[in-house]
C-alpha cells in the first residue's frame, strides 16, 4: 500500500496562527524541535504533517487526530526522513518535499521483510468479486501482480 498527501503551507500557517496549540497536538517534542530549528518552521511542519497523513493512508490507520503523535517522523544524519508508528510492526518508508508553497509526502509499506502468505491463505478469485477485469489482469504475466500478490505463482 502507498499513501500520498499535500499541505498548502500558507493555509497551514494561517491555521497555526488561529490555533497556537495545534503543534502540540500534531507533533511530538522531537518533531517540533526539528521543525523549529529550520529557517521557516512552518514549511517543515507542513512536510511532517503531509508525511503523517501519507503514512495514515498507506497503513489505513484512520483519522489524523487519533494517530498524529503516534506516527513520528525523524531525520537521519543525511536529512533523510523515516517514520516510526507506535503499536504497529509494519516497515514504512517515506519521502518529503516542499516547494512552491506546498509540502508533499509519500509513504509506502515495505512488505519485503514480511512473511509470504501460503497460497491457501490468499483470497480466492471468487471472493474478490468484480467484473472479471482483475482476473484478466492477474492472468497476464505482470510485475505488478507479483508485487500485489507476493507468493502467488505468477511468472
Ligand atoms: C536530498 C536532497 C537532494 C533534497 O533536496 P531538495 O530538493 O532541496 O529537497 P526538497 O525541498 O524536495 O525536500 C526537502 C526534504 O527532503 C528530505 N531530505 C533531506 N535530505 C534527504 C536525503 N538525504 N534523502 C532523502 N530525503 C531527504 C527531508 O525530508 C526534507 O524535508 P524536511 O527537512 O522538512 O524533513 C538534498 O537535501 C541533498 O542533496 N541532500 C544530501 C545531503 C547530504 O548528503 N548530507 C550529508 C550530511 S552528512
pLDDT in tens, 112-146: 877 777 766 655 555 544 454 544 544 444 555 45
**What is the whole-number distance in angstroms between the Cα of residue 35 and the centre of ligand 1?**
14
Give the model confidence (pLDDT) of 18-56 as tens digits. 999 999 999 999 999 999 999 999 999 999 999 999 999
Same domain, 102 and 126: no
Give the model confidence (pLDDT) of 75-109 as tens digits. 999 999 999 999 999 999 999 999 999 999 999 99
**Length of the chain as a residue count:** 155
Angle between helices 9-18 and 41-58 (to 10 degrees): 100
Which of the listed residues 9, 79, 81 should we mutate to test ligand 1's pocket, taking the one with most ligand atoms within 8 A of CB? Answer: 79
Q: How many domains does the chain have?
A: 2
pLDDT band with cut points at 50, 70 and 90 for residue 70: very high
Residue 144 belongs to what domain range? 119-148
The grid cell for 48 is 511532517
Task: Determine, yes or no, domain membership for 45.
Answer: yes
Task: Determine, yes or no, domain membership for 155.
Answer: no
Give the model confidence (pLDDT) of 110-119 as tens digits. 888 777 777 6
Same domain, 71 and 142: no
Same domain, 78 and 12: yes
Same domain, 8 and 75: yes
* Whole-number pLDDT of residue 42: 98
The torsion angle over the Cα atoms of residues 56, 73, 31 and 10, rounded to 10 degrees, is -60
Task: Determine, yes or no, domain membership for 153.
Answer: no
Amino acid at each position: 500500500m502507498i499513501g500520498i498527501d499535500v499541505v498548502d503551507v500558507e493555509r497551514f500557517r494561517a491555521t497555526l496562527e488561529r490555533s497556537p496549540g495545534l503543534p502540540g497536538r500534531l507533533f511530538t517534542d522531537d518533531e517540533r524541535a526539528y521543525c523549529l530549528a529550520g529557517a521557516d518552521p512552518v514549511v517543515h511542519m507542513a512536510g511532517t504533517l503531509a508525511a503523517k497523513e501519507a503514512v495514515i493512508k498507506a497503513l489505513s490507520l484512520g483519522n489524523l487526530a487519533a494517530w498524529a503523535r503516534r506516527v513520528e517522523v525523524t531525520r537521519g544524519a543525511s536529512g533523510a526522513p523515516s517514520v516510526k508508528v507506535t503499536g504497529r510492526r509494519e516497515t514504512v518508508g517515506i519521502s518529503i518535499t516542499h516547494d512552491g508553497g506546498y509540502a508533499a509526502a509519500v509513504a509506502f509499506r515495505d512488505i519485503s521483510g514480511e512473511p509470504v502468505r501460503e497460497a491457501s491463505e490468499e483470497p480466492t478469485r471468487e471472493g474478490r468479486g468484480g467484473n472479471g477485469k482483475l482476473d484478466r489482469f492477474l492472468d497476464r504475466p505482470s510485475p505488478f501482480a507479483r508485487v500485489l500478490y507476493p507468493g502467488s505463482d505468477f511468472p
